A and B are shown apart, each in its own frame.
Chain A
Amino acid sequence: MKKKLSALLLIIALLCSVLAGCTTTGDQKNIDTDVTESNDTGEKTDTPSGEPKLADEQILTFVGHNDMMTLDVSLMNDEMSALVMYAVNEALIRYSRGEIIPGIAEKYDVSDDGIVYTFHLRDANWSDGKPVTAYDFEYAYLRLLSPETGSTQIESFSAVLNAMEYARGEITDTSQVGIKAVDDKTLVITLTKPEPFFLEEMAQGINFYPIRKDYVEKYGQNYGSSPESFIGCGPFVLTEWAQGSKITMEKNPGYWDADSIILEQVVEYIVADENTRVGMYDLGEVDGIYSISAVQTVKYSDSFRTRAGGTLQHLVFMSREGAVLSNKNLRLALSYAINRDSIVKAIASPGTVVADSMIDPEISLDGESIVEKYPASNNVHISGDPAKAKEYLNAALSEMGLSSPSELPAINYVCLDSPTHRAYAEALQAQWQDVLGVNVDINIMPVPQAIGSLLAGEFDIFLNGMSTGVAPETLLDNYTLHNPNNYAKWSNQEYTDLFNESMNADNLEERFTKLQQAHQLILDECPVSPLWLPGTAYLFRDYVDGIFYGRQTGSIEFIYAKILEH
C-alpha cells in the first residue's frame, strides 16, 4: 500500500513539475506595467538608413480576434468588416495616415454657402473591369437609407438634406433626398445646413462605399456574405473568406493607383484566444497581431505600438429625481475620488489616455483642436482629489440627512461582461471604498441586458464607452431634455438651451462658444464624468513597414505597407 501511495505522490509531483517547468521558462521580465509612456502614439518612423530593401515575397499575414460580420456596405457596423472593406473597396474620399486624401473622386467642390458638395469621379474600375460611376454611389447611399434595407447606420447621413426623413419613411420620393448622380462622373450631395465636419464623416465613416446594383439584385439578401457575392473597387480583391478562420486578399492590378500598392497578398487569420495569437506570432506564423492586451505587451515592450482615441469611456450617473445619485454633490464626490491616472497605468490597455473632457481632443477643424481652443475650466482631476471628494461627500450626506456613508442606499453599478469593463469596475469600486467609504455593488450583465438597463435607466452608475465621432457635439448631444438617449435622465433647461443655441448658431465662433458653455455646465453638474480614451496595442515585426494605426480604435491601415528584407 505504501508503495502505491508513494507512486501516486510521485506522479502528482511529476505533474506539478511539468506544469511549473513549462511556464516558468522563457524570457519574461517582471517589469512595471507602466508601458504607456514608453511608446509613441503614431506612425512607425521610416528606417533612417536610406532606401530599405524590399523582400522578394510581399505577403503580409496577421492575426485578428473576430471574424467580419458582412461585406454588405449598407449593413456593416463592425470594425473587422471595416478593416477589410477599407482594402477591398474605395469611397469617394479616403482617410489615410490621419488626413483626407482623394479616393474614387478626383476632386470635389463645395459651394460658397457650404451646402452643396460636388464630387468629380476619376476613371476607375470595379475589379471585374466595369467602370465605377456616380450612380453606384447614389444607389449605395439611397439603399442604406431605405427603410427596406434595415441599416443601423442611417445617422451617418443625418447632415444630408431629407436623408433622415427618407429613412424614417416620411418621404418616399428619392429625388427629394440630397444625393444625386448628375452623370456617370458627377455626384452632388446637398446638406440641410453648412456642416464643416461632413467631409470628415464621409472620410472616416465606414458606410460611404459604392455598391454594384447588379450584384445586389443577383444575390438578394445573401449579397456580401461570401467573396463571390461581393465586388469592390479597392486596391485589393477579396479571394477567400473561410468564415471564422481566414481571410485572404490579393492585390488588384486594375486599381487606379496600383503603382502605390506594394503588397501582393494579405492574409488575416481569425483566432479568438490571445495566448494562441501570441504563440503564432512567436513561432513566426504571422507577421503581426491586430491587438494585444496590456499584460502581453510586457514581453514585447520594445516592439509594440499603440493608438488611442475614437472612443471616450465615461461614467453615467443616474440623475433622475429620486435616484441616489440625483444629489449633485454625491456625484461630484464620486468623480473626485477617482484616481484616473493610476487606473490607466495599472489596468487599462496600453495607449489609453486619461480624459478630462467630454469632447475628444483630437476633434479639430483646420488643424486646431476644438476643446483646446474652447476649453472647459477643468474640474476633473487626473489623479483624483480625496480631500475635495470628502468635502462633497459630507455636503451630500448633510443634504440627505445622513450621518455616515454606510447609511446611503445601495448604489448599483451595472457593468458589461467584458474583462476590461470588469477590471475597471473593480478598481473604481475599491477607490470609492477607500477614499469615501462608499460601498458600490457591481452587477455584471451580458451586453444586451446591460445596455437594456442603461436605456431603461435601471442603474446608478454605468461605464459607457461611445464613439466620439467627428464633430465635437457627438457625446454632448444626448443630454438635452427629453432626448431618448439621455442615459443619465438628467434634466437641465439651461443646458438644453445652450446646446440648441450652439446647434442653431449662424457662425462657427458662436457655435463653439455656446458649446463650450454647455460643456462647462455638464462637467459642473456631473451627470457624466469623463474617464479615459481607451487605446489599442498592435504588434508587428520590424520588417513590416508602412503600417499606419488609424484614429478610430482598432483600425490598422495596411494598404500601403511593404515587407522589408529580413
Chain B
Amino acid sequence: MSNIPIDLPKDAFSHMNAGSTESEIITRPSITFWADARRRLFKNKVAMIGLSIIIIITMLAIFVPIFSQYSYTKQDLTNTNAPPSIEHPFGTDSHGRDLWVRVWVGARVSLAVGIFGSVIPGIIGVVIGGISGYFGGKVDMIIMRFIDIVMCVPNMIYIILITIYIGTGPVALVIAFALTGWMGTARSVRGMILQLKEQEFVLASRTLGASSATLIFQHLIPNTLGIVVVSMTMGVPAAIFQEAFLSFIGLGIAPPIPSWGQLANMGISVFRVYPSQLLIPAVLISVTMLSFNLFGDGLRDALDPKLRM
C-alpha cells in the first residue's frame, strides 16, 4: 500500500532447511467426501433449520397419534366442524373427528408418499437417463423414444390401472408414481450426461481404462447429483400434491386414512366458512415443503465438489 521502503536488516532472516520432508506432510486431517459433505451441511444454518423442522414434523407425526386420546377414525356427528378449542386443538372436521390427530396421521401418509414417491422415481430416472446419455446412439434413441411414448400416455390411465389391480393405498400410489415419474428426471440427467461426457475428466478416466459402469456411476452421475437433488426435493411436494389431486378425483388413499392433500382438499371446499380447516393443512404443507427445499439446497451445496466456497 505505502511506498515507503522498509529497512529490514539482512540478519533478521535465516535459511530454512530445504528438502525437509516436513513440507510434504498434510497437516489437515484427511477426510472422505461424505465426511466433508456432512461437515459442510452441518455448517449451513438454513439447511439445518429446514432439517430441524422436518425432524419435528416427523416426530409429531410419529408420536401424536400414539398418545392422543382420540382415534383418527372416531367420529362424533353431534360435534362437527367445531372451531379449535382446548379439547380439539385444531377443531373437528365435517364428521366430528379430531383434526389434531388426523393432521398428524395425515403427515405420516403424506411424508411417506412424498419422499418415496419422489426418491424412487428419481433413482430410476437417474439410472436410465445415465445409461441413455452415456451410451448414446441406438440405446439412447430407443430409450428416448420409449420415454416419448410413455410420457404421452396420460398418467391417469396407469394410475387407474394400478389402483384397480393393487388397491388404493400408499404403496399403490408410490408404485404408480415410480412408474410414471421417472421420465422427467431421466430426460434431464441424459441431457446433462450428454454434456458431461465430452469433458476432459471423462476422457482422462476413459484413457486410464475405466469401465463404463465406473464412468457412469463414479464420474457422470455424481456430477449430476446437484440438479437431481434439486429435482427430488421439488419432487416431494409434487408427489404430495399429486396424491391430493388424485384423492380429489377419487383415486387417492382410501378412507378413513387421511393425508394432507385430502385434508387441504376438504378444507378448500369449506374455507370461506371454516377457514382453519384449510389454513392448518395448507400452512403445514407449505412449511414442510419450504423445509425440504431449504434442506435440499443445503444438501446440494454440500454434495457438489465444484461448489466449495
Per the CB under 8 Å rule, do A and B touch in the complex?
yes
Please give the residue numbers on chain A whose beta carbons come within 8 Å of chain B beta carbons, in ascending order: 1, 5, 8, 12, 16, 19-20, 23-24, 26, 28, 30, 33, 274-275, 278, 293, 295-296, 298-299, 339, 342-343, 345-347, 416-419, 422-423, 425-427, 429-430, 433-434, 441-446, 449
B81 contacts partner chain A, Cβ-Cβ < 8 Å: yes
Central interface residue in B49, B252, B256, by most chain A CB within 10 Å: B256
What's the least CB distance linking A483 to chain B, in Å?
Answer: 27
B272 and A299 form a contact (CB under 8 A): yes
Please give the residue numbers on chain B whose beta carbons come within 8 Å of chain A beta carbons, in ascending order: 45-46, 49, 73-75, 77-78, 80-83, 94-96, 160, 164, 167-168, 249-252, 254-256, 268-275, 278-279, 282-283, 287, 290
- Nearest 10 A/B pairs, CB to CB: A417-B250, A23-B275, A346-B77, A342-B77, A430-B75, A295-B270, A426-B255, A346-B80, A298-B273, A28-B273
What's the least CB distance linking B163 to chain A, in Å?
Answer: 8
B273 and A417 form a contact (CB under 8 A): no
Query: What B residues does A343 contact at CB under 8 A?
Result: 77
B81 in complex: contacting residue of A24, A295, A422, CB < 8 Å: A295
B251 and A442 form a contact (CB under 8 A): no
A-B contacts, 30 of them at CB < 8 A, read A1-B45, A12-B287, A19-B279, A20-B275, A23-B279, A33-B81, A274-B269, A275-B269, A275-B271, A278-B272, A298-B273, A346-B80, A346-B94, A346-B96, A347-B80, A416-B250, A417-B249, A419-B269, A423-B94, A425-B255, A426-B256, A427-B75, A427-B95, A429-B73, A429-B256, A430-B74, A442-B255, A445-B164, A446-B160, A446-B251
What's the least CB distance linking B19 to chain A, in Å?
Answer: 45
B273 in complex: contacting residue of A295, A342, A449, CB < 8 Å: A295
Query: What B residues does A8 contact at CB under 8 A?
Result: 46
B255 and A299 form a contact (CB under 8 A): no
What's the least CB distance linking A391 to chain B, in Å?
Answer: 23
What's the least CB distance linking A66 to chain B, in Å?
Answer: 15
B272 in complex: contacting residue of A1, A33, A275, A430, CB < 8 Å: A275
In the complex, what distance in Å separates the CA atom of A12 from the CA atom of B286?
A: 10
Query: What A residues does B254 contact at CB under 8 A?
Result: 441-444
Dominant secondary structure at the B interface: loop
Query: What A residues does B252 contact at CB under 8 A?
Result: 444
In the complex, what distance in Å separates the CA atom of A345 from the CA atom of B75?
A: 14
A444 and B46 form a contact (CB under 8 A): no
Query: What B residues does A342 contact at CB under 8 A?
Result: 77-78
What's the least CB distance linking B48 to chain A, in Å?
Answer: 11
- CB-nearest residue of chain A relative to B44? A1
- CB-nearest residue of chain B relative to A450? B250
Query: What B residues does A418 contact at CB under 8 A?
Result: 250
In the complex, what distance in Å separates the CA atom of A16 from the CA atom of B290?
A: 13
B250 and A295 form a contact (CB under 8 A): no
In the complex, what distance in Å separates the CA atom of A441 from the CA atom of B273?
A: 31
A445 and B250 form a contact (CB under 8 A): yes
In the complex, what distance in Å separates the CA atom of A419 from the CA atom of B265?
A: 10
A-B contact count (CB 8 A): 112
Query: What A residues does B279 contact at CB under 8 A?
Result: 19-20, 23
B250 and A446 form a contact (CB under 8 A): yes
Central interface residue in B45, B82, B273, B274, by most chain A CB within 10 Å: B273
- CB-nearest residue of chain A relative to B156? A446
B95 and A346 form a contact (CB under 8 A): yes
In the complex, what distance in Å separates the CA atom of A444 from the CA atom of B168?
A: 7
A19 and B283 form a contact (CB under 8 A): yes
Given contacts A416-B250, A445-B250, could you give 4 more A-B pairs where the C-beta distance is less than 8 Å? A5-B45, A24-B275, A30-B81, A295-B273
A429 in complex: contacting residue of B255, B274, B290, CB < 8 Å: B255
A299 and B95 form a contact (CB under 8 A): no
Query: What B residues does A33 contact at CB under 8 A?
Result: 80-81
B77 and A345 form a contact (CB under 8 A): yes
Query: What A residues does B273 contact at CB under 8 A?
Result: 28, 295-296, 298-299
What's the least CB distance linking B7 to chain A, in Å?
Answer: 44
What's the least CB distance linking B207 to chain A, in Å?
Answer: 44
B251 and A26 form a contact (CB under 8 A): no
B80 and A443 form a contact (CB under 8 A): no
What's the least CB distance linking A359 to chain B, in Å?
Answer: 27
Query: What A residues does B274 contact at CB under 8 A?
Result: 28, 30, 295
Query: What B residues does A430 contact at CB under 8 A?
Result: 73-75, 95, 256
In the complex, what distance in Å separates the CA atom of A5 from the CA atom of B287?
A: 15
Query: What B residues does A423 contact at CB under 8 A?
Result: 94-95
B73 in complex: contacting residue of A5, A433, A443, CB < 8 Å: A433
- CB-nearest residue of chain B relative to A299? B273
Query: What B residues does A417 contact at CB under 8 A?
Result: 249-251
In the complex, what distance in Å separates the CA atom of A86 from the CA atom of B273?
A: 34
Central interface residue in B45, B95, B287, B290, by most chain A CB within 10 Å: B95
In the complex, what distance in Å separates the CA atom of A19 from the CA atom of B279?
A: 8
Query: What B residues does A429 contact at CB under 8 A?
Result: 73, 255-256
Query: What A residues does B96 contact at CB under 8 A?
Result: 346
In the complex, what distance in Å separates the CA atom of A26 from the CA atom of B164?
A: 43
In the complex, what distance in Å separates the CA atom of A157 from the CA atom of B169?
A: 45
B94 and A19 form a contact (CB under 8 A): no
Central interface residue in A28, A346, A423, by most chain B CB within 10 Å: A346
A444 and B250 form a contact (CB under 8 A): yes
In the complex, what distance in Å separates the CA atom of A278 from the CA atom of B271?
A: 12
B83 and A30 form a contact (CB under 8 A): yes
- CB-nearest residue of chain A relative to B250? A417
B95 and A23 form a contact (CB under 8 A): no
A449 and B290 form a contact (CB under 8 A): no
B160 and A5 form a contact (CB under 8 A): no
- CB-nearest residue of chain B relative to A448? B160
In the complex, what distance in Å separates the CA atom of A417 from the CA atom of B273?
A: 24
In the complex, what distance in Å separates the CA atom of A27 from the CA atom of B12?
A: 86
Query: What B residues does A425 contact at CB under 8 A?
Result: 255
A427 in complex: contacting residue of B77, B82, B167, B270, CB < 8 Å: B77
Query: What A residues does B46 contact at CB under 8 A?
Result: 5, 8
B283 in complex: contacting residue of A16, A26, A278, A346, CB < 8 Å: A16
Query: What A residues does B95 contact at CB under 8 A?
Result: 346-347, 423, 426-427, 430
Query: What A residues does B282 contact at CB under 8 A?
Result: 19
